[in-house]
Amino acid sequence: MVEGMLGHDDVERTALIVVCHPEIAYDALGIDPTLAGMLPCTTIVYEREGDDRVHVHHVSATKAIRDLGCAPSESSADVEALVEKTGELMTVVWENIEEHGSE
């Protein structure tokens, strides 16, 4: 995907999946509109030469918002609820990857 978009043939098979669950975006913007700069979440799917596995790495925007202190301190409970909600959604994603990953 990256190779085709960039026109380079030296990039290993890599795909960047950039998504934002609309409800999560709505909740984040409700906490502080400036948090939009941290969205969306990105998942990277890639292969490495000589490795027969497909690797998946997820970058959690909501955890970054919390851990970097991007939201106003009075919103910490709201941010924590958002982290919990996204964690639950990502758990479903990881379970599906585990269940269907070898198909």
- Higher model confidence: residue 103 or residue 56? 56
- The per-residue pLDDT for 4 is 60
Domains and CATH numbers, the chain: 2-100 (3.30.310.70)
In this prediction the pTM is 0.69
Looking up tokens 């799917």 gives 45
Summarised one tens digit per residue, pLDDT across range 30-89 is 999 988 888 888 888 888 889 888 888 888 889 999 999 999 999 999 999 999 998 898
- Check if the beta carbon of residue 25 is closer than 8 Å to that of residue 32: no
Structure tokens at 19: 């998504």
Whole-number pLDDT of residue 79: 93
Q: Is 35 exposed, middle or buried (0-12, 13-18, 19+ CB in 10 A)?
A: buried
